[in-house]
Amino acid sequence: MTETTTETEEQSTGTSVGSGDTDTRTTKGESEERTRDEWREYSFSEDAILSVDDLNVYYGDDHALKDISMDIPEKSVTALIGPSGCGKSTFLRCLNRMNDRIKSARVEGTVEYNGEDVYQDGTNLVELRKRIGMVFQAPNPFPKSIRDNIAYGPRKHGDINRGFVASLLGRDDKEEEDELVEESLRKAALWDEVNDRLDDNALGLSGGQQQRLCIARCLAVNPEVILMDEPASALDPVATSKIEDLIEELAKEYTVVVVTHNMQQAARISDQTAVFLTGGELVEYDETDKIFENPESQRVEDYVTGKFG
């Protein structure tokens, strides 16, 4: 039976090609064996905030990701595309160790965040997931007020003190909280729509607003990287377009890694695109224009032109 992760408050708040030593794929116009080092010309290592090396993931005996190596540059949008089951979400979850929650999952290889291996012993997972936040496919606000959704993480982490005891001690951070709520909602392009009803239940918002609230909630704990797993796939076209605009805006300040099934969306919003194909292989990773206009691999060309998928 497949285990699933549960989307809890903790999850929400708190180029090279990854082949083996050789790559025997047929490239367009030529059939040659490329060594892994040759593929590394597609490296984004200079600005890398996340650096993945020889990552392998297993669920029991199922080898879900194979020898993935790639650098993710900071303050940009990296799209992960590929057919269902090729391992995009698994890869995303490795970046902030969310796969730790899946008992059958085993991860080998390294994932460096700002030069530190997140899989080393002693990693503070709460801190890691604050710095590398996550937004899910289905909007999942808490059944609380809009304000409480944003303030939940900072209060829980002790960055903001509220309540009776805090006020007795003269340490009530109401002003700081108000500022944080406004700033987070503004950054998520939601402030203008909700500033007159911050104490209303978040579940009364539209799906698109709920998703932007989830992004605001993630921003409130001061992340550096935002992982998004198909953040617009449950939304209508207007709400999707707002999320896409927001992602482009966020990338000025944050590093965004987004899984999407929607190739047009990847082409519209991302700076670089990684194409995973069946079997958990990363087949090509490059600047998005290159992937969509002139990919190296025939399999990638077939995929992005819709010949299979």
Given the rule CB under 6 A, which residues bind ligand ATP? 2-4, 59, 62, 64, 82, 84-90, 102, 104
Angle ∠(64,54,26) on CA atoms, nearest 5: 75
Shortest distance, position 198 Cβ to ligand ATP, whole Å: 34
CB nearer to ligand ATP: pick between 85 and 204: 85
Q: How far apart are CA 226 and CA 240, in angstroms?
A: 17
Q: Give the rounded distance of the alpha carbon of 42 from its chain centre.
A: 21
Sequence-distant (≥ 6) Cβ neighbours of residue 274 within 8 angstroms: 15, 70, 78, 79, 80, 81, 282, 284, 285
Shortest distance, position 88 Cβ to ligand ATP, whole Å: 4
Shortest distance, position 269 Cβ to ligand ATP, whole Å: 18
Classify 221 in phi/psi space as left (phi over 0), alpha (psi -120 to 50) or beta: alpha
Shortest distance, position 101 Cβ to ligand ATP, whole Å: 9
CB nearer to ligand ATP: pick between 64 and 181: 64
Shortest distance, position 93 Cβ to ligand ATP, whole Å: 8
CB nearer to ligand ATP: pick between 181 and 275: 275
CB nearer to ligand ATP: pick between 59 and 119: 59
* Half-sphere CA count of 245, side-chain side, radius 13 A: 12
CB nearer to ligand ATP: pick between 34 and 261: 261
